[in-house]
Amino acid sequence: MYLYHFGISELPFTLTPNTSYFYGLPTHKEALQVLNTALQSGEGFIKVTGEVGTGKTLICRKLLNELPDYFVTAYIPNPFLSPQELRRAVAGELGVELSENSDQQEFTQRIQEKLIHINRSGNAVVLIIDEAQALPVESLEVLRLFTNLETESRKLLQVVLFGQPELDEKLSRSDLRQLRQRITFSYNLDKMDLDQLYHYVKHRLAVAGYRGVEVFSRGVCKELFKATQGTPRMVNVVCHKSLMLAYGEGVEAVSKKHMRLAIKDTDACVQPQSHVFAYVMGGLVVTGLALGGWVYATGAGLI
């Protein structure tokens, strides 16, 4: 792989949400500010949406890592759950035991007892659900019932939903209007602009330990921006491939040729319509891509 070639300690452009690579894009900072403000004020429902690859899971992990100690968190990363499964998942996260055939009434009673106990100890409970667009409609209604649990002054349970735009489509249903009306804070993540992308790429290389000459010039980043539209996940994919191509040729900087080949090899990218690529990937480059694939999927990354 190209670690030794570029003098870095780990792969900088993999897909695992690693908060040590958090760059602090304006849209990510604003999302965290909205979340912290809403949670501090005791709001019942908060929602963060964004297109695939814009960093929702990263923000989710960042929030989990940085919440003040008085917050007790329940985290549901894969919410394609029936109402019964969702109730059990939440109960399990909070350490509440339910009988084998528990119903909504038993769940409500036991959860309320637990939440009151936590509240009396000076703590607050937040339920964080990633990929919330996968929640069935019936389970979304169960979530609404969760937030009926409250004292005279505040909610006993706050809920944060992270989801793709399909979540907004689902919440627009008339039978979910009560839930929709309870979402008091929401934020939609933007993609990066060209300047943000340029500094984002430099940041990730620096975190990985790179200290050499510029690897991705502004001109190369312009090609990258056109193809990825500033989506962080796609930027990571293409940058990884282009570094392997540069490594395969034994050079220290990614050229436009490398970038275009990496873009051409990535189906999800916007492919240039006005260019006919005459470049042919040599045996060394193909070998580099093949050797790098499995390592890429397991490294420490961002999105």
C-beta separation of 90 from 98 below 8 A: no
**Predicted local confidence at residue 105, as pLDDT:** 84
Percent of the chain with pLDDT over 90: 72
> pTM for the full model?
0.86
The interaxial angle of helices 104-120 and 83-93, nearest 10 deg, is: 30
Strands (DSSP E) contained in the chain are 45-49, 71-76, 124-129, 157-163, 183-188
The 3-state DSSP class for residue 68 equals coil
**Predicted local confidence at residue 289, as pLDDT:** 54
**Predicted local confidence at residue 295, as pLDDT:** 46
For residue 154, how many C-alpha atoms fall within 13 Å in the half-sphere facing its CB?
19
* Residue 159 C-alpha from the chain's centroid: 17
Rounded to 5 degrees, what are φ and ψ at 280?
A: -120, 130
Q: 124-170: per-residue pLDDT in tens?
A: 999 999 999 999 999 999 888 888 887 666 789 999 999 999 999 99
Q: What is the CATH number of domain 3-13+192-298?
A: 1.10.8
Q: Which residues of the chain have pLDDT under 70?
A: 151-153, 273-303
What is the DSSP secondary structure assignment for residue 150, as one 8-state letter? B
Domain made up of 26-188: CATH architecture: 3-Layer(aba) Sandwich (3.40)
- Delimit the domains of the chain by residue range: 3-13+192-298, 26-188
